[in-house]
Structure 1
Amino acid sequence: MKKRIYIIGSGFSALAASCYLSKEGFEVVVLEKNATLGGRARQYKKDGFTFDIGPTWYWMPDVFERFFADFGKKPSDFYQLEKLDPAYQVYFGVEDSITIDGNLDTIYKTFEKEEQGSAAHLRSFMASSKSNYDIAIKDLVYKPCISPLELVTPKTVTKLNQFVSTIRKEVRRNIKSNKLIQILEFPVLFLGAKPSNTPAFYNFMNYADFGLGTWHPMGGMYKVVEGMVALAESLGVEFRTNTNVEKIQTDAANKVTGLVVNGEEIEADLVLSGADYHHTETLLNENVRQYSENYWSKKTFAPSSLLFYVAFDKKLSNVCHHTLFFDSDFDVHAKDIYDTPRWPDNPLFYASFPSMTDDSFAPEGCEAATFLIPLAPGLEDTEGLREQYFQKIIVRLEKLTNQDVQKNIIFKKSFCVNDFVEEYNSYKGNAYGLANTLFQTAFLRPKIKSNKVANLYFTGQLTVPGPGVPPALISGKIASDLITKNQ
């Protein structure tokens, strides 16, 4: 008889795990508290406009290819990918921006134009970045990180110095231009930590950026969700939406016996949670929780975000599909997130204009835009503060890109700390999970297998390997492999 496993949540890690576990012969049921599947990767649609509520960047296409290949499929069986060229644009001031092309050779020329001699340094840096990528993404991150010995291989032994140095030190070793430094440090923001606290080994993110390029799934990131759901359903996975798990029940032997779902008790052989790790443990009796509130309070969390989904009645100019606004002090904003949490006075922000690439996002002649301001988790969140910060960034957008846009806004919707808590049970409203700092890497992250409840497992951004969509897919595979091995 097949063992039944209930998966809590339907984000990328949960969807990936559901596919692998069903393939291995488990009877898989996915329980999603919200009305739509995909976890944080949902969409908001209104008046002909479409917005990806969560992730908007498609990096590391090889990870997606590896996932679908495990089932004899390709991404193209489910969605169409377009490589962005240019990949993105970075504003540093009025009429002062650098555009990163989709071609590495062109990027070398862009660096050399900005700072003489920097292209040679970038070539060396990228060689290291690719080497680390090959070690990390093709092997290291697929380990369950039960033991630190998993990280000790002939290849990683030669990289030990890169675990004690930082991204900040390595980037600034030879590059002097502050603009180029910020461009090289920017990708580690996806890992949720400051460059000064991120091990140099993580420069593999620069290969993900410059080497593999930035892509767009036509129809948006939700097309990836739809593709994974279609694959899962073809494998026999059952999905239940509007299904809130209220308690995880255990017996005297500390084994899961069932769940309380929408007020009703159901029996369970195994449970895998793709929901927020901290929240999941609050569903257990206190004596079988692995991590205390004190433990979580001392962890370095990746940022939360203030997001705006904005519809414009005209096409915007002087921006790219992905546009970064780094015209304020990066270090000051980072301090406001990680060191002394507060609302930043002059925040950096990011904007996505997918309708520049994909006509399905907005009516003809219009533009759909998503704006994101990184924030410390746990901050006060009010409608007044949201509006105050929208005015800050929209005025800067107009000034930096030399265009009037406020009078062209049809509607806007915001999403912030309170929404992350309400919609996703996110600890302190964080958006990306635990930061990948040196002491929160690999085996030092919360464990995939509970050490107190025999048949309870976790997957997603608070466990290994860490924040981001590709790591979420990998986390789902790691968790499913561990479950299969232990049965």
Structure 2
Amino acid sequence: MSATVNIIGSGFSSLAASCYLAKAGYTVQIFEKNSTIGGRARQLKKDGFTFDIGPTWYWMPDVFERFFSDFDKKPSDYYTLEKLNPAYSVYFGKNDFITIEDTLAKIKTAFENEEPESSEKLQKFIDEAKSNYDIAIKDLVYNPGLSPLELVTPATIKKLNQFFSTIKKDVRKAFKNERLVKILEFPVLFLGAKPSDTPSFYSFMNYADFGLGTFHPKKGMYQVILAMEKLAKELGVEIHTDAPVDHIIVEDGKAKGLVVNGKEHYSDVVLSGADYHHTETLLEKENRQYSERYWSNKTFAPSSLLFYVGFDKPLKNVNHHTLFFDVDFDTHAEAIYDDPKWPENPLFYASFPSKTDEASAPEGKEAGIFLIPLAPGIEDSEALRETYFEKIITRFENLTTQNVKNHVIFKESFCVNDFINDYNSYKGNAYGMANTLLQTAFLRPKLKSKKVKNLFFTGQLTVPGPGVPPSLISGKLVSELVTKYHS
């Protein structure tokens, strides 16, 4: 009889781990507290509109290809991928924006138009970023974070200085134009920290942006979840929804199973892809690895205020992905990381998937997703949500020179309280733990419990870190540890 694994949660990392473990011969069950799978990557359907509730950016296609190829599959076996052109646009003022297109050659032209002689600097910067990408994504991030020696390779020794400088320093050394600086600092926001706190080595995100490009799965990011679900089921994984976990069963220092909706489900291994802090609250105190003080001292990635809006007309002067950097970034960043509070004038991001994907909205209408990054743990109320919708939609109208307020059919919101209620997210964070120097690789919470045998963790609070591609990798890493250390 094969060994059994019970998995908490059904996000990207859990689904990835379930596939690898099932392939390795384990009998795998997933327990998801919500009524649909996907964790943060769920879907909202309303009045003929379809929205991705969570991730909307598809970057690093090679990581997805590597995942599916591990099962002799391809992404195209499950969903259709389209490279976006333009990838995105960035607003700096009224009718004032820079468009990032789908090749580095076109992006260099846009930079040159903005700042003479910047295209050559950009090429040099992206060459270095590609070198970092080749080292990081093809090698380093596939290490389980057990030892600092994982970071020591001939390639990383040559780049040691990049772990002690920052993205902000590097970008500003090469570029003087503030608009170009903001565009180059933008990708590291996916890592959950300020550019001034993000090691230079993470410039590989700029290669992901300008070198590889931005993609969109037809019918949305949720198609990736459905693909992984199909693969998991083909491999024999059993998935239970509406199945919140009450407690992790521990006997004689070993994880023995889960209590779900009051019922015991025994297994040889327990793996959690749910929020790491929350998972430890499912254990008795003596079995927890990390104290409340540990978590409170960590730098968490932002939370978000999100709006899912149905418009009764197509919108103009926007692309599938549109960033609004018309206010001071540093002031907003201070309100997230240094003095947590609601930002007076927030930067925001908007996605209009119906610009690319007819499945997102009824004909003649537009689906819009608006996101404001926020400090985790701050007050969240309907009144605050309304205030901030009014703020950004007023700016949106002015910047894009169109009337939209009177064309809103409906809007749904999602914020700190929802991240806590729906995902048991620590302080309502949206992206996990930030990738700062002191929270990189072996310095992140461990994939394998130090206190309880046969208890493992995966997801964006552990290695490699925040984001969808790292979550796929995290699922692979933890499955390898399970097969190595399960006793």
Q: TM-score, normalised by structure 2?
A: 0.99
Give structure 2 stretches of 5+ with no counterpart: none
Cα distance between partner residues in 2 of 1:311 and 1:18: 35
The one-letter amino acid paired with 1:368 is A
Distance 1:66 1:258 in 2: 31
1:144-293 equivalence runs, <5 A: 144-251=144-251, 253-293=252-292
Q: Distance between the aligned counterparts of 2:125 and 2:257, measured in 1? A: 51
CA positional deviation for 1:19: 0.3
Match of 1:343 in 2: 342
Matches within 5 A, 1:70-469: 70-251=70-251, 253-469=252-468
**Matched position secondary structure for 1:144:** coil
Cα deviations by residue, 1:106-144 (Å, 9 ceiling, x for unpaired) = 100110110011111101100000000000000100000
The 3-state SS of whatever aligns with 2:315 is: coil
Q: AA paired with 2:45?
A: K
DSSP-derived class of the 1:323 partner: strand
Counterpart for residue 471 of structure 1: 470
**TM superposition shift of 1:72:** 0.3
Residue deviations 1:225-254 (CA, integer Å, cap 9, x gap):
000000000000000000010101212x31
- Shift of the alpha carbon at 1:192? 0.2
How far has the Cα of 1:332 moved from its partner? 0.3
Q: Residues of 1 paired with 2:461 and 2:298: CA distance?
A: 11
What is the CA distance between 1:174 and its match in structure 2?
1.5
Structure 1 segments unaligned to the other structure (5+ residues): none
- Quote the offset at 1:146 in angstroms: 0.2
Deviation of the 1:259 alpha carbon:
1.4
Partner SS, residue 203 of structure 1: helix
Summarize deviations over 1:328-361 as a string: whole Å, max 9, x none.
0000000000000000000000000000000000
Q: Partners in 2 of 1:257 and 1:57 — Cα distance?
A: 38
Q: Which residue type is aligned with residue 198 of structure 1?
A: T
After superposition, the C-alpha distances for 1:29-78 in whole angstroms (9 at most, x for unaligned) are: 00000000111101100110000000000000000000000000000000
Q: Name the % identity.
A: 69
Q: Distance in 2 between matches of 1:177 and 1:456?
A: 50
Deviation at 1:268? 1.8
- Separation in 1, partners of 2:257, 2:408: 49
User: Which amino acid in the other structure matches residue 224 of structure 1?
Assistant: V
Secondary structure at 1:173's aligned position in 2?
A: helix
Q: Which amino acid aligns with 2:72?
A: G
Distance 2:320 2:206 in 1: 19
Q: State how far apart, in whole Å, the 2-side matches of 1:399 and 1:393 are.
A: 10
Q: Please give the TM-score of this superposition, normalised by the length of structure 1.
A: 0.99
SS of equivalent residue, structure 2 residue 464: coil
Match of 2:478, as an amino acid?
Answer: A
Q: CA deviation at 1:258?
A: 2.3
Deviation of the 1:298 alpha carbon: 0.3
Q: How many angstroms does 1:256 deviate by?
A: 1.0
Q: How does 1:28-107 map to 2 (within 5 A)?
A: 28-107=28-107
Letter in 2 for 1:210: F
1:485: Cα distance to partner?
A: 1.3
| Counterpart code for 1:90 | V
Q: What CA distance in whole angstroms lies between the structure 2 residues aligned with 1:258 and 1:426?
A: 22
1:198 Cα deviation from its structure 2 partner: 0.2
Task: Look up the match of 1:480.
Answer: 479
Structure 2 Cα separation of the partners of residues 419 and 36 of structure 1:
15
Q: Deviations along 1:278-308, whole A, 9 cap, x unmatched? A: 0000000000100000000000000000000
Structure 2 Cα separation of the partners of residues 468 and 149 of structure 1: 24
Q: Within 5 A, what are the aligned runs for 1:6-45?
A: 6-45=6-45
